[in-house]
Structure 1
Amino acid sequence: MPSLQDVWNVTRLRLLVELEKCSSLSQAAEAVGVSQPSASEHIRLLNAAAGEPIVERYGRSLRLTHAGRVLAVYASQALSNLTAGESALAARAGLRTGTLELGASSVPGTYLVPDIIEQFQQECPDVNVHVSVGSTAEVRQWLSSGRVTCAVTCGDMRDERLTVTALGPDEIVGVARPRFLDLSSDGYVDAAALDDFTLLVQETGSSTREYALGLLSGTDYSFRNVWELGSVDAVKRAARRGRGVGFLSTHTIADEQRRGEVVAFRVTDLPSPARRVCWVRLTRASVSPAETYFESMLRSHLSRAGGV
């Protein structure tokens, strides 16, 4: 019996996505551009490959089963990636001249963007690249003023003037010197264990800082002191020396963890923010080939790292 990997093609991917939208096989077939009998045969093949039904009869119409809805999510992602790939190749073909005006908040600007910029300039040497790195608040202002036309951020960028595309995860974790805290085997600590410790935070305007400052609010515990430091590196340095605990993006501490200089921890029963590495642009601005191709390189980098 063939597997799903054996039977997937673009028509079947699109058919699943359309069925989730309209719950009618005839409408889905029309949207994809095939006949209803052909659509029925596509569904039969997918049912067999999945090992269970992916659609079910509901009154006079069809709807996706739970298995079908799961597959539809991945079908939509696959189609999106194919479209992005086509756009990236088209953009790359036009990259002979131009300028990339890129902004980045501190985490991606320090720990993700430099390597991608290096690769971009090797592939597109005739494109001028200008990069501005600052806090999330500064990047928002740069986009609004036109100083940059696109940006990579990890903080909240909800703004009707901006189009934000999430590309990969950015988890915030606690950071401390090894054996500084009594951690569980899976790296957790109770909020009570943080009571009366010094909190190490980065610069004003950082979204990571805002999360850290509000972490213990609503609990019976509080940090003894707050040390405001000037950068992520300053927080890491203080944490390595046992001055307190910080909260930073996992992207920023990978090297220190590999060297055994810090440990990452999570706080029991306190949620981590659902942050994402995002690509941000002005909604009404035209998109240059350089922007399209750089976004594709960032997406590919995060995918290889397990981001999406």
Structure 2
Amino acid sequence: MDSVPEGVPTLPSLMDVWDATRMRLLVELDRGSTLSMAAKTVGISQPSASEHLRLLSTAAGEPVAERNGRSLTLTPGGRILARVASQALSNLSAGESALAARAGLRTGTLDIGASSVPGTYILPHVVSDFVQRCPDVTVRLSVGPSDAVIDWLLDGRITLAITCSEITTPGLRVETVGPDEIVGICSPGILDISSSGHVGRDQLVGQTLLVQERGSSTRVQAIDLHGAGSGWKSVWELGSVDAVKRAARERTGVGFVSIHSIAEERRRGELVEFRVDGVNWGRRDVRAVALHGVVTAPADHYFKVLLTDAIGGPAAAPSVPG
């Protein structure tokens, strides 16, 4: 192995300069923050942030950020490092929460992302239960389309994703926490629903199909039915589950939504549910998704226990681990 001549300084490696401040700086820039905003979030001055980026570029052997007009953006190499930094910070956070478990979950952070159905109709009361049981754990919940939630997880913005979608993205650990079902909905009297709760495909001919926003797993399944020759009069693309339910209540068409999302409307008699003869795609699962190989923080684990209890079975709620 060639040795470095005496008196010639050696360049630092990434391992030499990798610390939490620089990791957080890269993550903030990757999220679209300006240099001044990223520096403020991390808690350093803008000149100091510039020096950190210069040192990272030297260690990486290529620029990690570049000027684009008046703004500063990460280079492809910088984005690679930002992704690694997000995962490293997630592991550090999990380690802190693991130590917090020794104090009975009296400290720590729970960062959850959820797709629209679980995020709107299942998680709120579970989060409320968690906060009551673990009042000193900081909880952050973000709700968005299924594909966006998985992106947040991969970017390290959340540590736990709750979704009803099929997950095929590599590098993720998927657990089933409870059942879900896609059902048809309409205003009472629109369709002739059998005593078993079914309708034939012929009853859908000439109806307006109400579907959700792009990125929704429910939308994909509804469009599949549309493509199977059901003869819809038209297809309305709406912005949310609530918009689909509202349009169905106004007798403008029929939609397909999670059974978890219509509990109140069923109770009040505003909507009725149905299944379509010969269509078997209604059954699905609520899934908890995390990065593969990342230690599960106690807060994440305990939240999954409460969620499973809420939608998966009649077992008594567990006590707070101590």
Instruction: Give, in angstroms, the shift of residue 305 of structure 1.
Output: 6.0
Aligned match of 2:159? 149
CA distance in 1, matches of 2:145, 2:218: 10
Aligned match of 2:129? 119
- After superposition, residues 127-166 of structure 1 pair within 5 angstroms as 127-166=137-176
- Say if 2:212 is the partner of 1:202: yes
CA distance in 1, matches of 2:129, 2:293: 28
Return the match for 1:176 from 186, 193, 204.
186
CA distance in 2, matches of 1:141, 1:125: 29
CA distance in 2, matches of 1:99, 1:171: 31
- Say if 2:255 is the partner of 1:243: no
Aligned match of 1:281? 290
CA distance in 2, matches of 1:93, 1:194: 57
CA distance in 1, matches of 2:170, 2:283: 20
Q: What letter matches 2:240 in structure 1?
A: S
CA distance in 2, matches of 1:273, 1:189: 14
- After superposition, residues 7-156 of structure 1 pair within 5 angstroms as 91=101, 94-156=104-166
CA distance in 2, matches of 1:244, 1:184: 19
Q: Deviations over 1:190-225 (max 9, x none)?
A: 111101210001111000001001114334x32111
Instruction: Give, in angstroms, the shift of residue 304 of structure 1.
Output: 3.9
Q: How high is the sequence identity, in percent, across the aligned residues?
A: 51
2:183–2:282 CA contact under 8 A, matched in 1 = no
Instruction: Give, in angstroms, the shift of residue 92 of structure 1.
Output: 8.3
Instruction: Give, in angstroms, the shift of residue 273 of structure 1.
Output: 3.6
In the superposition, relative to structure 1, how do residues 238 and 92 fare at CA in structure 2: closer, same or farther (>3 Å)? farther
* 2:294 match: secondary structure: coil
* 2:227 match: secondary structure: coil
CA distance in 2, matches of 1:233, 1:158: 28
The total of aligned residue pairs comes to 217
Q: Post-superposition, which runs of at least 4 consecutive aligned residues in structure 1 deviate over 6 A?
A: none
Instruction: Tell me the TM-score normalised to structure 2 length.
Output: 0.65
In the superposition, relative to structure 1, how do residues 187 and 198 fare at CA in structure 2: closer, same or farther (>3 Å)? same
CA distance in 2, matches of 1:141, 1:305: 33
CA distance in 2, matches of 1:231, 1:280: 23
Gaps of 5+ in 2: 1-99, 316-322
2:179–2:312 CA contact under 8 A, matched in 1 = no
CA distance in 2, matches of 1:127, 1:143: 20
1:103–1:148 CA contact under 8 A, matched in 2 = yes
Aligned match of 1:260? 269
Q: Deviations over 1:28-79 (max 9, x none)?
A: xxxxxxxxxxxxxxxxxxxxxxxxxxxxxxxxxxxxxxxxxxxxxxxxxxxx
In the superposition, relative to structure 1, how do residues 208 and 92 fare at CA in structure 2: closer, same or farther (>3 Å)? farther
- Say if 2:319 is the partner of 1:298: no
In the superposition, relative to structure 1, how do residues 181 and 280 fare at CA in structure 2: closer, same or farther (>3 Å)? same
Gaps of 5+ in 1: 1-89
CA distance in 2, matches of 1:122, 1:244: 41
Q: Deviations over 1:169-194 (max 9, x none)?
A: 11000000001111111111111110
Q: What letter matches 2:288 in structure 1?
A: W
Instruction: Give, in angstroms, the shift of residue 91 of structure 1.
Output: 4.8
* 1:215 match: secondary structure: helix
CA distance in 1, matches of 2:185, 2:159: 34
In the superposition, relative to structure 1, how do residues 255 and 104 fare at CA in structure 2: closer, same or farther (>3 Å)? same
Instruction: Tell me the TM-score normalised to structure 1 length.
Output: 0.67
